[in-house]
Structure 1
């Protein structure tokens, strides 16, 4: 109860400043009432859905939208708060000084006009994230982008020169609310006509049953050399309160069977070889291994036990912290690692090829796109779906297409 009281008090302080700016610019009493009506509806909806909330009981679409609309309201008001509070820091001392040196009449118009200017500027800037978040909730989460890369390797087998793979990650099928958009994305994947499709974990949020409505969509995925997958941290059902250990185990078995029905060859700390014209490359799949308290079921040595040191290797590992902590320094030299997990935090600013930023960079060194260390590459996919926040802002859902070329790597 105490945390909710603190939450309400903090939000009232934020809203005090936000409303000061709003009423300075908007004089209409009815619009001011609408302001408070929307605010109260969003806040009470959030409290209603999250008071006593236990993540282990599941996270529904209702929870997601309650959270999404709360964020849509909070972020712009925080921006307004920053402007108005900063203005008060300068305004109040000046007001006191002018009162004692010039009198009350001399200062009134000056400070009133400046407050109006700051209010307009604050509201104008706050409107940008407001519009972006609303767009992200209704459109951005299905704004699929195909990102294409060409990577050169001197030791790539000749038969695989020009070989194309498509990577998808973090489907989180339990979050979807638009079947047609998912069908569109699957068609987009097939349009790439890659030789192989690789999925790097988190096909559900928690339970295998989330995937059932989308099984007939994802089983339309096609690639000449097949579909391969690994498990992510959400696939094990660790975040749910199960009635028994047997139920949890059965959920994982159901998930494995559903992936098989879709057409995925699930690699559980094991490897397969992709062969072409008498040559081969090794495809190694580890179970989830994540730093910072995440599940560490991945066993790199076990997964690669049938792989020769000199084989060309593609590794699938859900969490990019695995690459940083274990894979880069492994004696086997994994040419290309494919990961996901971060979602790019589903929020950021990105100009492809020029600039990318997201708060998730403070948690993960490798969080989106291609990175190269010690002659090895990793691609961190931004994710196909979404989780918790029902949208994406600036960091769009991703379908990665990587072409392997024989040749000297670019600097």
Structure 2
């Protein structure tokens, strides 16, 4: 209960400060009342949905309660900062008047807020407000196909021009629009890649979340097959199961779901794709993540029957695995495919020029292509979304990578 009291108190302080900008500009009592009604509805809904919540029953209603709270909270924090900055000048001025004017001021020491400051503050706050609402209603299904060409001197000749499509972090339990998901699956097939690789987190927690979407994802196809690995959410670790047997059965059910869709799930295993007497290795490890995440991945076991000079594509859900173990492995994994970060579903990105997200403070490799020691990793921004029911600036991604023989031309 104490945490809710503290939460309401903090939100109340932010709200009162933000209201200063609103009432300075608004001359309508009805608009002022509407401001407080909207705030109370959003915070009341949030508390109602999340009071005593556990992860077992976190659904779309809870996600939207959280989303609408963020949609109001972020702009109001910006208003608070601007109004507080104005007070840095107003308060000293009021103190000065108190000591110099005394009773002449009749107690009105504090200068009135300036309307143009409030208008600027509201204009600035409107940007994240509109962006977050767009992210909730449209951004989470604003699928982008990102294409890369990577060059390798030791790529087998038969695989020159080979195309792969990577998807990651489906999080099917969060979806609320079957048509949009079906459209995205169509986009994947339109790429006509040789192979489709899925790098984990098919569900939020339970295998049953994927059941309504099995027919849609069952449309996926690729000439050389589809391969997958598990992500941290696929193990059901974030649910309080009635027994360990129920948890284990959920994982077995998810494995069966993946098989029925058409994925060859690699559990610390590998497969070879052969063409014209040459081959490349598709290596898949279970989840391995730094910072408290499950470390079930076993790179040695997955590569136990692969030659050191084989061309290797590694699927590993968490990019921290690449940073901590893969880069310096003497087996030299040419290309690693990861996901997990979602790009935090929030950031600013100008393709080819600039990208930023707060998640960069947690993950060194968080979105896109990186190269270290002659090896590449692609961190997919994710197909779905989790918790916050939207995406702002970091859009859902379908990655297409073409492998080319030789060195990159300047």
TM class, shorter-chain normalised? Answer: over 0.9
Q: Quick check: 1:47 aligned with 2:53?
A: no
Deviation at 1:222, TM superposition (A): 1.0
How far apart are the structure 2 equivalents of 1:216 and 1:223? 16
Q: Quick check: 1:164 aligned with 2:130?
A: no
Determine if contact 1:282/1:311 at 8 Å carries over to the other structure.
Answer: yes
Deviation at 1:408, TM superposition (A): 1.2
How far apart are the structure 2 equivalents of 1:90 and 1:376? 54
Provide the aligned length of Structure 1 versus Structure 2. Answer: 409
How far apart are the structure 2 equivalents of 1:252 and 1:410? 46
How far apart are the structure 1 equivalents of 2:65 and 2:206? 21
Partner of 1:35: 35
How far apart are the structure 2 equivalents of 1:90 and 1:314? 59
Partner of 1:12: 12
Question: Which whole-Å deviations, capped at 9, do the CAs of 1:344-399 have from their partners, x for residues lacking one?
Answer: 00000000000000000000000000000000000000000000000000000000
RMSD: 1.7
Paired residue secondary structure (1:159): helix
Q: 1:170 to 1:401 in 2, by over 3 A?
A: same
TM-score (norm 1): 0.97
Q: Quick check: 1:186 aligned with 2:185?
A: yes
Deviation at 1:99, TM superposition (A): 5.2
Question: Which whole-Å deviations, capped at 9, do the CAs of 1:260-281 have from their partners, x for residues lacking one?
Answer: 0000000000000011111100
Partner of 1:330: 329
Determine if contact 2:91/2:110 at 8 Å carries over to the other structure.
Answer: no
How far apart are the structure 2 equivalents of 1:11 and 1:117? 25
Deviation at 1:115, TM superposition (A): 2.3
Determine if contact 1:154/1:409 at 8 Å carries over to the other structure.
Answer: no
Q: Quick check: 1:74 aligned with 2:73?
A: yes
Deviation at 1:410, TM superposition (A): 6.1
Deviation at 1:101, TM superposition (A): 4.5
Paired residue secondary structure (2:163): strand
How far apart are the structure 2 equivalents of 1:147 and 1:137? 22
Question: Which whole-Å deviations, capped at 9, do the CAs of 1:212-262 have from their partners, x for residues lacking one?
Answer: 000000010011101100000000001011111111111111100010000
Determine if contact 1:155/1:406 at 8 Å carries over to the other structure.
Answer: yes
Determine if contact 1:152/1:410 at 8 Å carries over to the other structure.
Answer: no
Determine if contact 2:95/2:109 at 8 Å carries over to the other structure.
Answer: no
Deviation at 1:296, TM superposition (A): 0.4
Question: Which whole-Å deviations, capped at 9, do the CAs of 1:5-38 have from their partners, x for residues lacking one?
Answer: 1111111100110111100001100011111111
Deviation at 1:95, TM superposition (A): 3.0
Deviation at 1:108, TM superposition (A): 8.2
Deviation at 1:322, TM superposition (A): 0.1
**1:52-71 residue pairs with structure 2 within 5 A?**
52-55=52-55, 57-71=56-70
**1:4-403 residue pairs with structure 2 within 5 A?**
4-55=4-55, 57-98=56-97, 100-101=99-100, 111-112=111-112, 115-403=114-402
Determine if contact 2:93/2:111 at 8 Å carries over to the other structure.
Answer: no
How far apart are the structure 2 equivalents of 1:37 and 1:388? 25
Question: More displaced, 74-83 or 87-96?
Answer: 87-96
| Structure 1 residues not aligned, in runs of 5+ | none
Deviation at 1:117, TM superposition (A): 1.7
| Structure 2 residues not aligned, in runs of 5+ | none
Deviation at 1:97, TM superposition (A): 2.0
Deviation at 1:100, TM superposition (A): 4.4
Paired residue secondary structure (2:114): helix
Determine if contact 1:17/1:81 at 8 Å carries over to the other structure.
Answer: yes
